[in-house]
């Protein structure tokens, strides 16, 4: 099962009122297709309940299909805003400088208190395993 890791891959500054809604592109490799359909319903529900943020979820294939797309997007300076990827790709993504730590951003974020502490613990464990 893929581990949910949403990494900001491009600069996402806080938008001002003229930039709303904030449009985010999410690349994911959710499989099998019925799971993608369920996930899309969740994204649609999120979009309907958050008029200031709109997420576009795009299926980019399984891990062997994802790396060429991710590499091309990084080299072309057009990466997605969010990436849900299989953790087996983490080392390669770090070597490419395709992902970056969110520690500073999260420490200053007003939403940190809304994040499930178990998720934060999982992120911390993963970070220590990859460093």
What does the pLDDT read at residue 61? 92
- Of the pLDDT bands very low, low, confident and very high (cuts 50, 70, 90), residue 12 is very low
Is the pLDDT reported for residue 8 higher than 80? no
- Give the CA distances from residue 36 to residues 30, 58, 64, 85, 87, in Å, rounded to whole numbers and listed in that order: 5, 10, 18, 14, 18
- Asked if residues 21 and 52 have their Cβ atoms less than 8 Å apart, the reply is yes
The CATH number for 1-99, chosen from 3.40.50.150, 3.40.190.10, 3.20.20.70, 3.40.50.620, is 3.40.190.10
| Among the listed residues 49, 29, 48, the one whose alpha carbon sits nearest the alpha carbon of residue 39 | 29
For the chain, domain boundaries:
1-99, 101-131
Is the pLDDT reported for residue 50 higher than 60? yes
Q: Is the pTM of this model over 0.75?
A: no
Which of 6-10, 28-32, 52-56 has the least mean pLDDT? 6-10
Note the pLDDT tens digit of each residue in 54-104: 999 999 998 888 889 988 998 898 999 988 887 788 888 888 888 777 778
């Amino acid at each position: 099962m893929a581990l949910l890791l949403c990494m900001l891959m491009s600069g996402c500054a806080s938008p001002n009122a003229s930039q709303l809604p904030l449009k985010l592109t999410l690349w994911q490799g959710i499989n099998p297709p019925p799971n993608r359909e369920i996930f899309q319903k969740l994204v649609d529900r999120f979009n309907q309940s958050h008029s200031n943020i709109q997420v576009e979820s795009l299926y980019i294939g399984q891990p062997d299909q994802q790396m060429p797309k991710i590499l091309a997007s990084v080299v072309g300076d057009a990466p997605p805003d969010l990436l849900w990827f299989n953790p087996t790709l983490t080392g390669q993504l770090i070597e490419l400088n395709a992902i970056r730590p969110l520690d500073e951003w999260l420490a200053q974020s007003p939403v940190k208190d809304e994040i499930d502490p178990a998720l934060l613990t999982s992120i911390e464990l993963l970070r220590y395993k990859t460093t």
